[in-house]
Structure 1
Amino acid sequence: MRRRRFLAAGIGMAAAVAGCGTERFPAGAGDARGAYEIVAGGERWERVTRAFAGAAGEAGFAGRGPVRITVTGLPALAAAELNHGESLMDTATPLARLAGEVVVVVVPATSRFRSFDEFGAHLLARPGETPLAGGPQGEPDHLLFGLIAKGLGADTRQVDYTGYRSSAEAATALRAGRAAAAAGALADWRGPIRRGAVRVLAVSCARRFPGVDAPSLLESGIRVDFANWCAAVGPGAMPEDRRASAVRMCEEVTGSPSWQRACEAGGWVRIPLAGDDFRAWLDSEVRRTKAVLRDLGLVETSGGTTCWGSCGNGH
């Protein structure tokens, strides 16, 4: 497997500390119960950040205050590991997990793989002869295929994966026969799914997803519960009183009808987890991400993987 350095998503880590190069979204105005300036840790987080800031404003939390909260997530965490940078646990104060994108494994409508079991059997027997596609190397789609390969017992370093900048490019690779299967956010693949251009073999979360006629990975025998998640973090060394207030704000906002409506409109799954529980989960997610990147041959690191996953079901 070819190795290279990965720089594209690293902005999320720096933004968590300094807010440099971030898009700012005031959380509201009027009588404030707490002043929070909510910023996106990179372009990829702007939509969810705007939605979170809007829900915070409706809940009565005013913007442009002394406390800055950054929305970042799994791709930035992986980028830090790929670039041997400091992890999110070192550079920021974890506050709360917010939402996630369910990832689907798809094949062309004409694929010989009629089920995930058939696909999995081929990947197990011939990992180097099962070309896979998705988003950029080292990002969530690639991580998911690494977890699937490991769950099957396949030689993970032999996985043949090509990363593309968009789901449209990955779909082109499927149509052209350059990939046998692809992974990506369900929202990005809904069009090809509706048109019958691709079939969904499995969804990444713990249970079947409403409206998708496909089993979960867990149902298919792969102990993976996964989402491309995003979270709210504060600056490093955040005073405990401010951290506690910010955690309470996140809990209230993520439990609000406004946030539920925003997630439904955005195609995100609500996976709220806050405070110490989120900190413990994030520590495990950092270790799991390091392990799968190592298994894929992208980094050299130590430590074991954890089977429980990113969707947060039951955690």
Structure 2
Amino acid sequence: MRRRRFLAWTLGAAACAAGCGSEHVTGGTARFSIRADGSRWARVGQAFAAAARASGVGTSPTGTKITVTGLPALAASELNNGQTLLDTATPLSRLTGDVEVVVVPVNSLFKDFDDFGAHLRAEPSRTMLAGGPQGEPDHLLFGLIAKGLGADTRQIDYTGYPSSDEAVSALLGGKAAAAAGLLGDWRAAIDAGRVRALAVSCARRVPGLDVPTLLESGVRVDFADWAAAVGPEDMTEDGRESAVRMCDEVTSSPSWRRACRAAGWISIPLSGDDFKVWLTSEVERTQAVLRDLGLLASSRATTCWGSCGNGH
């Protein structure tokens, strides 16, 4: 009989400062401490801890901290000090992805993505774009799209907004010709007929949404606002192997799959050495697009997650 092991759930300092609660599940002598790298990933961290408890997943070594973080944190670290998750943490497992969508007002002259792409390629400085804050996933996506189309990426006219509601208002108020953001944030406006979706960022179409992917539209970009689990920078090899096994058990569990469906996340598990290789390519791609956008001095380039046609 497998001994039941335990998880402790602890939010990071930024999340707690925002008023988030914490939950501890302990017993025996072994436990992990799972924290979110700020309130942005609190829901993923909570779902991960809950799925682990439901699965009876073990915890070893005692007290090892597992942090749930993601693409915005990676981009921010590049912009702030040049360090990445590869420098400051031990990669364990990719967990979830949020699909992004490119949208236009319902009465836009851009009838489809081809129309939008042609205009962006010909007049990048006169194609007003909107989304989340500069340097975050929405901005990165437009940078990747511009590069994939052969447009002058540094010339694109992008305005970042603190919230998706403000981006919606900007688009509908004529302050932007197109916007990008999480599909979940734009779904109500799409379903209400206030905006039209031109393309989704993932490699396969979203069920129930008759919208082509960027790959179908001729742009070799497969993209998601992803979240992942990482361990401490000084993690031992035994500790890393144990934590990777724990992540594999959780992300393959029915509880985790149910949590992802309920939240609208794509479950995109990839762990251990494979995740480290993927993360290395994602760091390079993020550096490259930040450079293309004029936000970094130098970097390397790539536009797809390994093989574009293979999805997540």
Greater shift, 63-72 or 284-293, is seen at 63-72
1:41 equivalent among 25, 37, 40:
37
Residue 272 in structure 1 maps to residue 274 in structure 2: no
The percent identity for this pair of structures is 66
The equivalent of 1:6 in structure 2 is none
Deviation at 1:86, TM superposition (A): 1.5
Q: Provide the C-alpha distance between the structure 1 equivalents of 2:136 and 2:286, rounded to a whole number of angstroms.
A: 10
Indicate conservation of the 8 Å contact 1:103/1:185, yes or no: yes
What residue ranges of structure 1 are gaps of 5+ in the alignment?
A: 1-18
2:256 equivalent among 256, 259, 270:
259
Paired AA for residue 212 in structure 1: L
1:152-196: CA deviations, max 9, x gaps? 000000010000111111111111111000000011111101111
Deviation at 1:28, TM superposition (A): 4.0
The equivalent of 2:279 in structure 1 is 282
The equivalent of 1:164 in structure 2 is 161
Using a 3 Å threshold, how does the CA distance of structure 1 residues 252 and 125 change in structure 2: closer, same or farther?
same
Spell out the pairing of 1:89-128 with structure 2 (5 A cutoff): 89-128=86-125
The equivalent of 1:83 in structure 2 is 80
Using a 3 Å threshold, how does the CA distance of structure 1 residues 53 and 310 change in structure 2: closer, same or farther?
farther
Indicate conservation of the 8 Å contact 1:226/1:309, yes or no: no
SS in 1 for 2:92: strand
Q: Provide the C-alpha distance between the structure 1 equivalents of 2:131 and 2:225, rounded to a whole number of angstroms.
A: 13
Residue 56 in structure 1 maps to residue 66 in structure 2: no
SS in 2 for 1:171: helix
SS in 1 for 2:304: coil
Q: So what's the TM-score if we normalise by structure 1?
A: 0.89
Using a 3 Å threshold, how does the CA distance of structure 1 residues 241 and 63 change in structure 2: closer, same or farther?
closer
The equivalent of 2:63 in structure 1 is 66
Indicate conservation of the 8 Å contact 1:225/1:308, yes or no: yes
1:205-242: CA deviations, max 9, x gaps? 01111111110000001000000000000000200011
Q: Provide the C-alpha distance between the structure 1 equivalents of 2:308 and 2:265, rounded to a whole number of angstroms.
A: 11
1:120-156: CA deviations, max 9, x gaps? 0000000000000001000000000000000000000
Greater shift, 79-88 or 196-205, is seen at 79-88
Q: Provide the C-alpha distance between the structure 2 equivalents of 1:197 and 1:287, rounded to a whole number of angstroms.
A: 36
Indicate conservation of the 8 Å contact 1:25/1:39, yes or no: no
Q: Provide the C-alpha distance between the structure 1 equivalents of 2:240 and 2:309, rounded to a whole number of angstroms.
A: 22
Paired AA for residue 56 in structure 1: A
The equivalent of 2:5 in structure 1 is none
Q: Provide the C-alpha distance between the structure 2 equivalents of 1:204 and 1:309, rounded to a whole number of angstroms.
A: 15
Q: CA RMSD in A?
A: 2.2
Indicate conservation of the 8 Å contact 2:130/2:176, yes or no: yes
Paired AA for residue 45 in structure 2: T
Indicate conservation of the 8 Å contact 1:144/1:226, yes or no: yes
The equivalent of 1:225 in structure 2 is 222
Using a 3 Å threshold, how does the CA distance of structure 1 residues 184 and 204 change in structure 2: closer, same or farther?
same
Report the number of matched residues.
297
